[in-house]
Amino acid sequence: MNGHPREQIELEREPDGLPPSERAALRIHLASCAECRAYAVELARNDELLSRRERVTQMPPIWLRRRGSALPGVLAAAAIVVFVVVTAIGVARENASRPPLVLGSPSATVVGSATPVGTNGSPLPSPTPSPSVSPIATASNGLGALTGQWIFVGKFVQPVNASRGRVEIWGIPLRGGPARLAYTYDVSIGGAPEGALDNTPYLRRQFSPDGRQLALSIDGELVVVELETGRVRRLGVSGSFPSWSKDGALIAFAHESPAAEVVPPPMQLAVVAPTGGATRDLGVTVQPRQSAEWSPDGLSLLVPTADGLALVDVTSARVLRSFGRLGVGSPSLAHWRGSGPQIALVDNGCGQGTARLLVSNDAAAPTRTVVDSGTSCEQVLLRDPRWNPSTSSEILYVGARQSPGAEPSDYVVHLVNVGTGTDRSLGLRAYEATWTWTDGQIAYIEKSDNAPFGAAVIVAAAADPTTQRQLLRAESGARFFSIAVVGY
């Protein structure tokens, strides 16, 4: 489905407006296109308002009004009632479509909250999941002892109804052997999409440091999956877009701000221990659909905000530095490693310059440009920089072409030498790409033609990209959306 299919979005509101095949294709498109979801939300909101009869309040003549009248308070209360009713209708529609609880496999163990790690500042009590919220439908399969290198990919499966789809997490042993389904759960793709739906998670940041656990947000609740055993534990915390610290002590996540009069509600950054317990708000408003990047020591975060990429000290919750307005369009704008140069950033130059790839020696050092595309984000999009774990001088990123009113196209993997500034196109059509740990290979999701995300998982040699092998292909109606390589 190309571009932004507004006509199909309008027809989809009618019971017989679209045939089943087109309706299913539209739902997959909405899962990946924020602009189209926003348009669908606006149409639904207008339909709701137009379906209501306006109650007219007889105003008293102006000469009968007295100073100190209670009328303003009455009007304010009425406005609050209308807002609550509209919100309740949206939530009720969403909850009505959710399936019953199946948390984990029959052998899975559900563990409750535990004591959080010690941090400065007063912790806030963890929110208890409301009994009115429908439970989570999941299935977990233990992978057994994990050794060697594994590729993990997320797959979005064609929805079976109007508001729910399915995410599958697959593990593929790089040394050989069949791909194995590790975990699957249902996701929302409708109902109340004005919120930031975490239904295509960015996997790289969600693994524990040893790679044996995976943090996920399922229907707005944080859970941790133990990949070897299949056990699943709920953290008792509402949140989305989790990111596990590289020292293993904390999980950063986004949660809705209590500023109820703002639609959509702003997302605030907070942290919690991987065992659950009390949370601590860092007081930073984050961009929707993006997670934070941890420093190697677990003390700082690079956080995408409306004002730019911010460096936040986790202990004091202070913003230490801003890297400027880097634009959007990618699940990740930065990668932070332990050796120098430490930080790789993409600046898509939306209205403020050209799209560039930047590096910085450390959190305090100035940035320098290693790639300048010469054009702005209206024509080109740079995505997801990732350092080569085997050498200090190489970064890969995915570049795509853009045009107004259309989805990005011509996704290609680039390999950059930060010392010389050499930018080499590898000719690999990838939605998302990453490095293997030791052998100079690139694992990537091959971009689908005329469809969101990608249809195959492939490994290619960086030295000779024509040397490839396909590891997994999605069935009809399914797409791969994220990839990560873990070494054990």
CB neighbour list of residue 345: distance below 8 Å, 6 or more residues apart: 309, 323, 326, 333, 334, 357, 358, 359, 360, 367, 385
**Tokens 């109007």 correspond to what residue?**
162
Backbone angles phi, psi at 153, to 5 degrees: -130, 150
Instruction: Supply the pLDDT for residue 135.
Output: 41
**Model confidence at 402, in pLDDT bands (50, 70, 90)?**
confident
Chain mean pLDDT for the chain: 78
> Percent of the chain having pLDDT more than 70?
70
What tens digit of pLDDT does each residue of 11-64 get? Answer: 766 666 677 666 656 666 665 666 676 666 566 655 544 544 433 333 333 223
Identity of residue 15:
P
- SS3 assignment, position 307: coil
CB neighbour list of residue 358: distance below 8 Å, 6 or more residues apart: 344, 345, 346, 347, 367, 368, 369, 370
Instruction: Supply the pLDDT for residue 268.
Output: 93
Report which of residues 148 and 114 the model is more confident about.
Answer: 148
What tens digit of pLDDT does each residue of 280-321 get? Answer: 999 999 887 789 999 999 999 999 887 788 999 999 999 999
Report which of residues 352 and 443 the model is more confident about.
Answer: 443
Instruction: Supply the pLDDT for residue 137.
Output: 56
> Measuring CA to CA, which residue among 409, 450, 453 is closest to residue 431?
453
DSSP character for 64? G
Instruction: Supply the pLDDT for residue 164.
Output: 85
Instruction: Supply the pLDDT for residue 109.
Output: 25
Instruction: Supply the pLDDT for residue 353.
Output: 81
Q: What is the mean pLDDT of residues 191-217?
A: 86
DSSP codes of every residue in 330-360: SS-SEEE-SSSS-EEEEE--TTTS--EEEEE
User: Residue 108 has which token pair?
Assistant: 């899975």
Instruction: Supply the pLDDT for residue 259.
Output: 64
Contacts 24+ apart (CB under 8 A), 211-214: 211/146, 211/150, 211/486, 211/487, 211/488, 212/146, 212/488, 213/244, 213/274, 214/152, 214/169, 214/182, 214/183
CB neighbour list of residue 331: distance below 8 Å, 6 or more residues apart: 200, 202, 289, 290, 291, 383, 384, 432, 482
What is the dihedral angle through the alpha carbons of 175, 179, 184, 186, rounded to the nearest 10 degrees? Answer: 120
What tens digit of pLDDT does each residue of 217-260 get? Answer: 999 999 999 999 999 999 999 999 999 999 999 999 999 887 65
What tens digit of pLDDT does each residue of 84-135 get? Answer: 333 333 433 333 333 333 333 333 322 222 223 333 333 333 333 333 333 4
Domains of the chain and any CATH numbers: 1-51 (no CATH), 138-322+426-487 (2.120.10)
